[in-house]
């Protein structure tokens, strides 16, 4: 390694996903298993997929205060030792890619060799994200919102999207195209919660408002389940069962004062990727035109509009022209989006199902395989701080 290369701090090509696993995905409240058991099932499935002895796992990484704590997992699984346990701050699925980045960083830094990244979430057991109850008094950020009925994520994010639509002339049809694409892909995915429940224009238009500008189908589901993947260094990646999916880059964070309370971020109408997307492309050494397939976290479709624009696929003023159903579907749309069905129609696994789907795309094993899938982008929860994203690539992209 030259002196120059040693100074280049990057995750590019240093680690690879060797296994993915998920539980059955359930409507909230329908899981027969407790949340921790779901986590164990997903992790064991990921190890089985890789052909890895689970006792070799020496690190865990998650986000959004996952309740399945690393030391308990290590004890339950009987791992030989625990070396890395990383929790990404922040909620709203903003950490679904950061958790992978943190795990990769631990491996690259020599802190661990075999790290599981996972999310386990049983909203039926611990409370639905879409309902605010059992709270008598509130302080801080929530106190400026909840007494006015800005209670749950739909109301927290609708004003941000409304402002964006106002500034850039984005029409409801652009949001609708995203919902239609997710549901379309879910019909090909037998694991998807909304498999067998197609959506069309008439059904979308007739659906009730949750909060304007979000119809019912603009909003993610609330589910129970768990998803996991296993990361190892690139040197070891070919020892396992499947074609490795290499991490080309990851980035996290948000711009200047993005989290200023009571909706006071200087740049308000943003998905929080204004600084994070350029960081990702810089590390990955690719640009938007190299990306063949995208998984973009839909808490709400409006967040996807903003996130895709901030990742350079179109200018905000072009959103209405770019965001059409035909453009967003596999195999041949210019930008196949959420090819498993995503948070809207596959499962709201807090975005981690999106990371697994990107791995399937790189492997060539998706139920809605994109024509170009050597470079697969995942965009984590938009409109939150910290946000995160990542790019996976096949061996050919290294």
Residues near other proteins, by CB under 8 A: 130-133, 135-152, 154-155, 158-160, 162-163, 166, 208-213, 257, 260-264, 268
The CB-of-268 to other proteins minimum distance in angstroms stands at 7
Residue number, 126 or 209, with CB nearest to other proteins:
209
DSSP-derived letter for residue 342 is I
Residue number, 210 or 347, with CB nearest to other proteins:
210
Residue number, 80 or 166, with CB nearest to other proteins:
166
The CB-of-164 to other proteins minimum distance in angstroms stands at 9
Active site residue 297: yes
Sign of torsion over alpha carbons 122, 43, 296, 255: positive
**Farthest-apart Cα atoms in the chain, separation:** 62
Radius of gyration of the chain (CA): 20
| Catalytic member of 25, 26, 164, 348 | 348
Backbone torsion region of residue 330, taken as left when φ is above 0, otherwise alpha when ψ lies between -120 and 50, otherwise beta: beta
Residue number, 29 or 147, with CB nearest to other proteins:
147
Closest Cα to residue 373, out of 276, 230, 186, 243?
Answer: 243
Cα-based distances in Å from 305 to 7, 221, 239, 312, 322: 36, 18, 39, 11, 10
| Catalytic member of 26, 63, 217, 297 | 297
The CB-of-219 to other proteins minimum distance in angstroms stands at 9
The CB-of-103 to other proteins minimum distance in angstroms stands at 32
Backbone torsion region of residue 103, taken as left when φ is above 0, otherwise alpha when ψ lies between -120 and 50, otherwise beta: alpha
CA dihedral 64, 70, 73, 79 (to 10 degrees): 140
Cα-based distances in Å from 304 to 79, 90, 122: 39, 19, 24
The CB-of-210 to other proteins minimum distance in angstroms stands at 4
The CB-of-146 to other proteins minimum distance in angstroms stands at 4
Residue number, 191 or 263, with CB nearest to other proteins:
263
**311 C-beta neighbours (distance < 10 Å), count:** 23
Residue number, 201 or 262, with CB nearest to other proteins:
262
Residue 21, strand partner residues: 228
Active site residue 348: yes
User: Are the beta carbons of 114 and 81 closer than 8 angstroms?
Assistant: no
Query: 3-class SS at 330?
Result: coil
Residue number, 51 or 149, with CB nearest to other proteins:
149
The CB-of-96 to other proteins minimum distance in angstroms stands at 23
Distance CA 38, CA 56 (A): 20
Residue number, 142 or 372, with CB nearest to other proteins:
142
Distance CA 8, CA 389 (A): 20
Sign of torsion over alpha carbons 373, 281, 250, 35: negative
* H or E, element range at 371: none
**86 C-beta neighbours (distance < 10 Å), count:** 21
The CB-of-308 to other proteins minimum distance in angstroms stands at 21
Backbone torsion region of residue 93, taken as left when φ is above 0, otherwise alpha when ψ lies between -120 and 50, otherwise beta: left
Backbone torsion region of residue 253, taken as left when φ is above 0, otherwise alpha when ψ lies between -120 and 50, otherwise beta: left
Q: Which residues are catalytic?
A: 297, 348
């Amino acid at each position: 390694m030259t002196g120059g290369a040693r100074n280049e701090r990057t995750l590019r090509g240093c680690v690879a996903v060797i296994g993915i696993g998920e539980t059955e995905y359930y409507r909230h409240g329908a899981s027969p298993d407790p949340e921790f058991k779901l986590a164990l099932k997903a992790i064991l499935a990921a190890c089985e997929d890789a052909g890895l002895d689970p006792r070799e796992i020496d690190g865990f990484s998650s986000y959004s205060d996952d309740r399945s704590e690393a030391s308990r997992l290590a004890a339950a699984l009987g791992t030989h030792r625990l070396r890395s346990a990383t929790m990404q701050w922040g909620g709203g699925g903003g950490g679904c890619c950061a958790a992978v980045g943190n795990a990769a960083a631990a491996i690259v830094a020599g802190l661990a060799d075999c790290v599981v990244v996972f999310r386990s979430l049983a909203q039926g057991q611990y409370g639905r994200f879409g309902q605010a109850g059992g709270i008598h008094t509130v302080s801080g950020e929530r106190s400026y919102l909840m007494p006015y009925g800005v209670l749950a994520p739909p109301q927290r994010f609708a004003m941000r999207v409304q402002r964006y639509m106002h500034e850039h002339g984005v029409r409801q049809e652009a949001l609708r195209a995203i919902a239609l694409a997710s549901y379309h892909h879910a019909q090909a995915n037998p694991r998807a919660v909304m498999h067998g429940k197609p959506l069309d224009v008439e059904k979308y238009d007739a659906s009730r408002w949750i909060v304007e500008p979000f119809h019912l189908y603009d909003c993610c589901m609330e589910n129970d389940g768990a998803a996991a993947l296993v990361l190892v260094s690139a040197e070891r990646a070919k020892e396992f069962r499947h074609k490795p999916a290499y991490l080309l880059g990851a980035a996290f964070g948000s711009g200047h004062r993005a989290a200023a309370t009571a909706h006071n971020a200087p740049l308000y109408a943003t998905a929080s990727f204004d600084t994070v997307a350029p960081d990702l492309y810089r590390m990955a050494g690719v640009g938007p035109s190299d990306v063949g397939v995208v998984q973009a976290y839909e808490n709400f479709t409006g967040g996807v509009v903003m996130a895709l624009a901030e990742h350079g696929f179109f200018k905000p003023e072009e959103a209405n022209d770019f965001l059409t159903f035909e453009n967003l579907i596999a195999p041949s749309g210019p930008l196949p989006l959420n090819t498993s069905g995503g948070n809207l129609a596959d499962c709201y696994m807090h975005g981690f199902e999106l990371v697994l789907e990107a791995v399937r795309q790189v492997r060539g094993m998706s139920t809605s395989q994109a024509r170009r899938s050597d470079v697969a982008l995942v965009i984590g929860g938009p409109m939150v701080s910290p946000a995160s994203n990542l790019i996976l690539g096949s061996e050919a992209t290294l």
